[in-house]
Amino acid sequence: MKKLFSVFVILCVLAMPAHAQVGPPPRQPNAGVLETYKIGFITNRLLLTPDEAQRFWPIYRLYANEVRQAWGVYRTDKNELQLEENLLNIKKKYSVEFLKAIPPPKINEFFRAEKDFNQIIQRELIRRREQGRGPYPQ
């Protein structure tokens, strides 16, 4: 039942903005798939209710865009300290915004879940490189 509910929430969240998305194409061939996995991972970790999910994911998309922009700036100027400062400021800003959607313990769990997901992805990329495969499934 819990898995069915999670799948339903994910589908609802993905279906709402699908018709209104405008912007650049995905950065990588599997960027959409990876984002879908990340949404499912975070939804399961936070145990979001449908109401919380409806309020949380639009804020999350804004947060994710700002994080991507911070990394884009880092790629051009290679200033590690500035990157860390920018990421911290973004987290502080969105901690307040996330309060509009989810309670404080879930905000902390969100940041942990995001970090855990990124570590899982890093380990998988390393594993695939060691096996001589590229970062994407063939």
pLDDT, one tens digit for every residue, the chain (138 residues): 555 445 444 544 455 544 444 444 445 556 689 999 999 999 999 999 999 999 999 999 999 999 999 999 999 999 999 999 999 999 999 999 999 999 999 999 999 999 999 999 999 999 989 988 666 555
Quote the Cα angle for 9-137-19, to 5°.
35
Q: How many Cα neighbours within 13 Å face the side chain of 86? A: 18
Q: How many Cα neighbours within 13 Å face the side chain of 115? A: 8
Q: Return the pLDDT at 32.
A: 83
How much of the chain is helix, strand and coil, in % rounded to 5? 80, 0, 20
Give the integer Cα–Cα distance in Å for 7 and 46: 14
